[in-house]
Amino acid sequence: MPIRKYRCSRTEIVCIIDLVPIIIGMPAGLKQSSSVVSIGFSLPEQAANTFTQSSIDLNLSPLDREVFVVLAVNLDAEVPTLDAATGDTSVQASLTTTSQTAVANLANANTLAVITNYIQADPGIPFAVPFTTSAMETPPATLEYIGIIATNDFFVQVQGRGNAVAKGVSGKMYGYRAVASADIYAALVQSEVLSA
pLDDT above 80 (res 127): no
Q: What is the mean pLDDT of residues 70-99?
A: 88
pLDDT of 100 above 50: yes
Residue 161 is predicted with a pLDDT of 93
Q: Is the pLDDT of residue 8 over 90?
A: no
pLDDT in the model for residue 121 = 79
- Angle made by CA atoms 162, 168, 170, in degrees to the nearest 5: 150
Mean pLDDT of the chain: 82
Please state, in angstroms and rounded to a whole number, the distance separating the CA atoms of residues 96 and 106: 10
Quick one: pLDDT at residue 47?
A: 96
Average pLDDT over residues 106-117: 91
Q: Is the pLDDT of residue 101 over 80?
A: yes
pLDDT digits (tens, 9 = 90+) for 131-178: 777 766 666 666 788 899 999 999 999 999 999 999 999 999 999 999
Query: What pLDDT shows up at residue 160?
Result: 95
Please state the rounded mean pLDDT for residues 93-108.
94
The dihedral through the CA atoms of 137, 107, 147, 170 has a sign that is: negative
167 vs 170: CA distance, rounded Å:
11
Domains recognised in the chain with CATH numbers: 25-194 (2.60.120)
150 near 188, Cβ under 8 Å?
yes
CA distance 70 to 112: 9
Nearest to 136 by CA among 85, 52, 73: 73
